Amino acid sequence: ASYSQKTYAARGREHTHPLACELFATMERKQSNLSLAADVTTKAELIALADRVGPFICVLKTHVDIISDFDSDLVVQLQALAAKHDFLIFEDRKFADIGNTVKLQYGGGIYRIADWAHITNCHVIPGEGIIQGLAEVGMPKNRGLLLLAEMSSKGMLATGEYTARNVEMAVDNPFVIGFIGSRRFTEARDLITMTPGVGLHASGDALGQQYRTPETIVAENGSDIIIVGRGIYGPGKDPVAEAERYRAAGWAAYERRLQR
Protein backbone atom coordinates (compact mmCIF):
# COMPACT_ATOMS: atom_id res chain seq x y z
CA ALA A 1 0.00 0.00 0.00
CA SER A 2 1.05 3.60 -0.57
CA TYR A 3 2.46 5.38 2.45
CA SER A 4 -0.44 7.83 2.23
CA GLN A 5 -2.81 4.92 2.87
CA LYS A 6 -1.02 3.97 6.09
CA THR A 7 -1.69 5.49 9.49
CA TYR A 8 0.77 7.93 10.98
CA ALA A 9 1.13 5.51 13.89
CA ALA A 10 2.19 2.63 11.63
CA ARG A 11 4.60 4.83 9.71
CA GLY A 12 6.12 5.98 13.00
CA ARG A 13 6.70 2.39 14.10
CA GLU A 14 8.36 1.45 10.81
CA HIS A 15 10.41 4.55 10.05
CA THR A 16 14.21 4.33 10.02
CA HIS A 17 14.88 7.94 11.09
CA PRO A 18 14.37 8.39 14.88
CA LEU A 19 13.16 11.96 14.44
CA ALA A 20 10.48 10.86 11.96
CA CYS A 21 9.39 8.16 14.48
CA GLU A 22 9.08 10.86 17.12
CA LEU A 23 7.13 13.17 14.80
CA PHE A 24 4.62 10.51 13.75
CA ALA A 25 4.15 9.45 17.39
CA THR A 26 3.46 13.06 18.37
CA MET A 27 0.96 13.42 15.53
CA GLU A 28 -0.88 10.30 16.64
CA ARG A 29 -0.91 11.29 20.33
CA LYS A 30 -2.26 14.76 19.61
CA GLN A 31 -4.38 13.79 16.60
CA SER A 32 -2.73 16.67 14.83
CA ASN A 33 -1.10 17.11 11.44
CA LEU A 34 -1.05 20.87 11.95
CA SER A 35 2.07 23.02 12.02
CA LEU A 36 1.84 26.65 13.10
CA ALA A 37 3.87 29.11 11.00
CA ALA A 38 4.56 31.65 13.73
CA ASP A 39 5.69 34.69 11.74
CA VAL A 40 5.57 37.15 14.63
CA THR A 41 8.39 39.58 15.26
CA THR A 42 9.04 39.75 18.99
CA LYS A 43 10.12 37.23 21.58
CA ALA A 44 7.07 37.90 23.77
CA GLU A 45 4.64 37.40 20.88
CA LEU A 46 6.28 34.16 19.78
CA ILE A 47 6.31 32.69 23.28
CA ALA A 48 2.70 33.71 23.96
CA LEU A 49 1.50 32.31 20.62
CA ALA A 50 3.42 29.03 21.00
CA ASP A 51 2.00 28.59 24.51
CA ARG A 52 -1.60 29.18 23.42
CA VAL A 53 -1.52 27.21 20.18
CA GLY A 54 0.91 24.53 21.39
CA PRO A 55 -1.77 22.04 22.47
CA PHE A 56 -3.11 21.79 18.90
CA ILE A 57 0.05 21.41 16.81
CA CYS A 58 2.65 18.75 16.05
CA VAL A 59 5.26 21.22 14.78
CA LEU A 60 6.06 24.86 15.55
CA LYS A 61 7.59 26.52 12.48
CA THR A 62 9.79 29.49 13.25
CA HIS A 63 11.72 32.20 11.43
CA VAL A 64 14.13 33.24 14.20
CA ASP A 65 15.74 35.91 12.05
CA ILE A 66 12.53 38.01 12.11
CA ILE A 67 12.57 38.27 15.93
CA SER A 68 13.77 41.80 16.72
CA ASP A 69 14.84 40.95 20.28
CA PHE A 70 16.16 37.41 19.73
CA ASP A 71 18.38 36.02 22.48
CA SER A 72 19.38 32.60 23.72
CA ASP A 73 16.67 32.70 26.40
CA LEU A 74 14.05 32.61 23.63
CA VAL A 75 15.38 29.23 22.60
CA VAL A 76 15.34 27.96 26.17
CA GLN A 77 11.71 29.03 26.47
CA LEU A 78 10.72 27.49 23.12
CA GLN A 79 12.31 24.20 24.14
CA ALA A 80 10.39 24.28 27.41
CA LEU A 81 7.15 24.89 25.49
CA ALA A 82 7.98 22.06 23.07
CA ALA A 83 8.31 19.74 26.07
CA LYS A 84 5.22 21.10 27.84
CA HIS A 85 2.92 20.85 24.80
CA ASP A 86 4.59 17.95 22.96
CA PHE A 87 5.61 19.47 19.62
CA LEU A 88 8.76 19.62 17.49
CA ILE A 89 10.48 22.82 16.33
CA PHE A 90 11.11 23.50 12.63
CA GLU A 91 13.31 26.48 11.80
CA ASP A 92 12.31 27.45 8.26
CA ARG A 93 15.82 28.69 7.40
CA LYS A 94 15.86 27.72 3.70
CA PHE A 95 19.62 27.31 3.48
CA ALA A 96 20.90 27.87 -0.06
CA ASP A 97 24.72 28.18 -0.01
CA ILE A 98 27.61 25.76 -0.59
CA GLY A 99 28.18 22.94 1.89
CA ASN A 100 31.00 24.61 3.80
CA THR A 101 29.06 27.84 4.35
CA VAL A 102 25.77 26.22 5.38
CA LYS A 103 27.64 24.16 7.96
CA LEU A 104 28.71 27.41 9.60
CA GLN A 105 25.25 28.98 9.25
CA TYR A 106 23.46 25.92 10.68
CA GLY A 107 25.76 25.16 13.60
CA GLY A 108 26.96 28.62 14.58
CA GLY A 109 26.32 32.34 14.32
CA ILE A 110 23.94 34.00 16.75
CA TYR A 111 21.15 31.49 16.25
CA ARG A 112 22.93 28.12 16.55
CA ILE A 113 19.94 26.54 14.77
CA ALA A 114 21.20 22.95 14.97
CA ASP A 115 21.26 23.15 18.78
CA TRP A 116 17.49 23.57 19.12
CA ALA A 117 15.61 23.08 15.84
CA HIS A 118 14.59 19.45 15.32
CA ILE A 119 13.94 20.17 11.64
CA THR A 120 15.27 22.67 9.12
CA ASN A 121 15.15 22.95 5.33
CA CYS A 122 17.22 23.85 2.29
CA HIS A 123 17.14 24.63 -1.40
CA VAL A 124 19.19 22.22 -3.52
CA ILE A 125 20.21 24.94 -5.99
CA PRO A 126 23.91 24.48 -4.99
CA GLY A 127 23.82 20.72 -5.63
CA GLU A 128 24.11 17.80 -3.22
CA GLY A 129 26.97 19.35 -1.22
CA ILE A 130 24.44 21.48 0.65
CA ILE A 131 22.79 18.36 2.06
CA GLN A 132 26.17 16.85 2.97
CA GLY A 133 27.25 20.03 4.75
CA LEU A 134 24.05 20.26 6.77
CA ALA A 135 24.15 16.52 7.53
CA GLU A 136 27.64 16.80 9.03
CA VAL A 137 26.23 19.16 11.64
CA GLY A 138 22.70 17.78 12.01
CA MET A 139 23.10 13.99 11.88
CA PRO A 140 25.13 13.70 15.12
CA LYS A 141 22.40 15.71 16.84
CA ASN A 142 19.61 13.52 15.42
CA ARG A 143 18.10 16.39 13.42
CA GLY A 144 16.19 16.08 10.14
CA LEU A 145 16.15 18.01 6.88
CA LEU A 146 13.37 18.89 4.44
CA LEU A 147 14.13 19.74 0.80
CA LEU A 148 12.22 22.58 -0.85
CA ALA A 149 10.82 20.56 -3.73
CA GLU A 150 8.11 23.16 -4.43
CA MET A 151 6.91 26.45 -3.00
CA SER A 152 3.39 27.78 -2.53
CA SER A 153 3.84 31.20 -4.08
CA LYS A 154 2.63 32.42 -7.45
CA GLY A 155 5.16 31.99 -10.26
CA MET A 156 7.57 29.87 -8.18
CA LEU A 157 10.32 28.24 -10.22
CA ALA A 158 10.63 24.90 -8.42
CA THR A 159 8.80 22.75 -10.96
CA GLY A 160 9.30 19.80 -13.30
CA GLU A 161 12.88 18.60 -13.54
CA TYR A 162 13.97 20.70 -10.55
CA THR A 163 11.34 19.10 -8.32
CA ALA A 164 12.28 15.66 -9.64
CA ARG A 165 15.96 16.23 -8.76
CA ASN A 166 14.92 17.18 -5.21
CA VAL A 167 13.13 13.86 -4.92
CA GLU A 168 16.16 11.88 -6.15
CA MET A 169 18.47 13.64 -3.72
CA ALA A 170 16.05 13.05 -0.83
CA VAL A 171 15.71 9.36 -1.52
CA ASP A 172 19.51 8.98 -1.50
CA ASN A 173 20.30 10.83 1.74
CA PRO A 174 19.35 9.47 5.18
CA PHE A 175 19.50 12.94 6.79
CA VAL A 176 16.53 14.01 4.63
CA ILE A 177 13.17 13.25 6.26
CA GLY A 178 11.02 14.85 3.59
CA PHE A 179 9.93 17.84 1.58
CA ILE A 180 8.20 21.13 1.51
CA GLY A 181 5.75 20.73 -1.34
CA SER A 182 2.13 20.25 -2.26
CA ARG A 183 1.82 16.46 -2.48
CA ARG A 184 3.36 13.04 -1.85
CA PHE A 185 6.30 12.78 -4.25
CA THR A 186 7.66 9.22 -4.00
CA GLU A 187 7.09 5.74 -2.59
CA ALA A 188 10.83 4.97 -2.68
CA ARG A 189 10.97 5.52 1.08
CA ASP A 190 8.71 7.15 3.64
CA LEU A 191 9.53 10.81 3.11
CA ILE A 192 7.21 13.28 4.84
CA THR A 193 5.62 16.18 2.95
CA MET A 194 4.80 19.41 4.78
CA THR A 195 2.72 21.99 2.92
CA PRO A 196 2.58 25.75 3.49
CA GLY A 197 0.03 27.95 1.79
CA VAL A 198 -2.91 26.27 3.55
CA GLY A 199 -5.98 28.31 4.44
CA LEU A 200 -9.72 28.12 4.95
CA HIS A 201 -9.94 31.92 5.01
CA ALA A 202 -8.70 33.39 1.73
CA SER A 203 -7.29 32.50 -1.67
CA GLY A 204 -4.03 34.39 -1.24
CA ASP A 205 -2.35 37.59 -0.16
CA ALA A 206 -1.05 40.70 -1.95
CA LEU A 207 2.51 39.31 -2.22
CA GLY A 208 1.95 36.11 -4.15
CA GLN A 209 0.95 33.63 -1.44
CA GLN A 210 -1.66 31.12 -2.68
CA TYR A 211 -3.89 29.07 -0.34
CA ARG A 212 -5.37 25.63 -0.75
CA THR A 213 -7.58 23.72 1.67
CA PRO A 214 -6.55 20.90 4.03
CA GLU A 215 -8.89 18.63 2.06
CA THR A 216 -7.02 19.24 -1.21
CA ILE A 217 -3.59 19.00 0.35
CA VAL A 218 -4.01 16.06 2.72
CA ALA A 219 -6.90 13.98 1.38
CA GLU A 220 -6.36 14.45 -2.35
CA ASN A 221 -2.63 15.18 -2.71
CA GLY A 222 -1.32 12.90 0.06
CA SER A 223 0.69 15.55 1.94
CA ASP A 224 1.25 14.77 5.62
CA ILE A 225 1.39 18.07 7.49
CA ILE A 226 -0.39 21.37 6.86
CA ILE A 227 1.46 24.57 7.73
CA VAL A 228 -0.83 27.46 8.67
CA GLY A 229 0.17 30.97 9.69
CA ARG A 230 -2.13 33.95 9.31
CA GLY A 231 -5.19 31.71 9.08
CA ILE A 232 -4.56 31.10 12.80
CA TYR A 233 -3.17 34.36 14.19
CA GLY A 234 -4.06 36.96 11.49
CA PRO A 235 -5.96 40.19 12.23
CA GLY A 236 -9.18 39.65 14.18
CA LYS A 237 -8.54 35.91 14.68
CA ASP A 238 -8.83 33.98 17.91
CA PRO A 239 -5.68 31.81 17.64
CA VAL A 240 -6.94 29.10 20.00
CA ALA A 241 -10.25 28.69 18.17
CA GLU A 242 -8.58 28.78 14.75
CA ALA A 243 -5.85 26.33 15.75
CA GLU A 244 -8.49 23.85 16.91
CA ARG A 245 -10.44 24.42 13.68
CA TYR A 246 -7.39 23.74 11.50
CA ARG A 247 -6.32 20.77 13.62
CA ALA A 248 -9.77 19.23 13.21
CA ALA A 249 -9.86 20.01 9.47
CA GLY A 250 -6.39 18.56 8.89
CA TRP A 251 -7.14 15.43 10.89
CA ALA A 252 -10.52 14.89 9.18
CA ALA A 253 -8.81 15.16 5.79
CA TYR A 254 -6.25 12.54 6.92
CA GLU A 255 -9.03 10.20 8.07
CA ARG A 256 -10.80 10.62 4.73
CA ARG A 257 -7.56 9.81 2.94
CA LEU A 258 -7.23 6.52 4.86
CA GLN A 259 -10.71 5.55 3.68
CA ARG A 260 -10.14 6.34 0.00
Which positions lie near ligand 5IU, rule CB under 6 A? 37, 39, 63, 92, 148, 151-153, 180, 196-197, 209, 227-231
Q: What's the CA gap between 233 and 228, in Å, rounded?
A: 9
State the nearest-atom distance from the C-beta of 10 to ligand 5IU, in Å. 28
Q: Which is nearer to ligand 5IU, 21 or 126 (CB)?
A: 126
CB of 228 to ligand 5IU, least distance (A): 5
In the bound complex, what is the minimum distance in angstroms from residue 98's beta carbon to ligand 5IU?
Answer: 20
**Dihedral over Cα of 107, 112, 110, 120: its sign:** positive
**Which CB sits closer to ligand 5IU, 37 or 81?**
37
β 34-37/192-195 pair status: unpaired
Per annotation, catalytic residue among 6, 51, 86, 97: 97
Closest separation in Å from C-beta 92 to ligand 5IU: 6
| Residue 123 phi, psi dihedral angles, 5° rounding | -85, 145
Nearer to ligand 5IU, 130 or 151 (CB): 151
What does the H/E/C string look like for 14-45?
HCCCHHHHHHHHHHHHHCCCEEEECCCCCHHH
Active site includes 94? yes
Asked if residue 39 belongs to a known ligand binding site, the reply is: yes
| Residue whose C-alpha is closest to residue 188's, from 203, 169, 205 | 169
Q: Which is nearer to ligand 5IU, 133 or 181 (CB)?
A: 181
Catalytic residue among 92, 103, 190, 224: 92
Query: Is 97 an active-site residue?
Result: yes
Side-chain half-sphere CA neighbours of 33 within 13 A: 27
Q: Is 229 annotated as a binding residue?
A: yes
- Which residue number has the CB closest to ligand 5IU? 229
Find the shortest distance in angstroms from Cβ 112 to ligand 5IU. 21
Residue 29 · residue 17 · CB < 8 Å? no
Catalytic residue among 6, 86, 94, 205: 94
Q: Is 230 annotated as a binding residue?
A: yes
CB atoms < 10 A from the CB of 105, how many?
19
Nearer to ligand 5IU, 25 or 192 (CB): 192
Contacts of residue 115, defined as CB under 8 A and 6 or more positions apart, other chains included, come to 75, 107, 141
152 annotated ligand binder: yes
**Whether the Cβ atoms of residue 244 and residue 231 lie closer than 8 Å to each other:** no
Q: Which residues sit in the known binding site for substrate?
A: 39, 61, 152, 209, 229-230
What is the set of active-site residues?
92, 94, 97
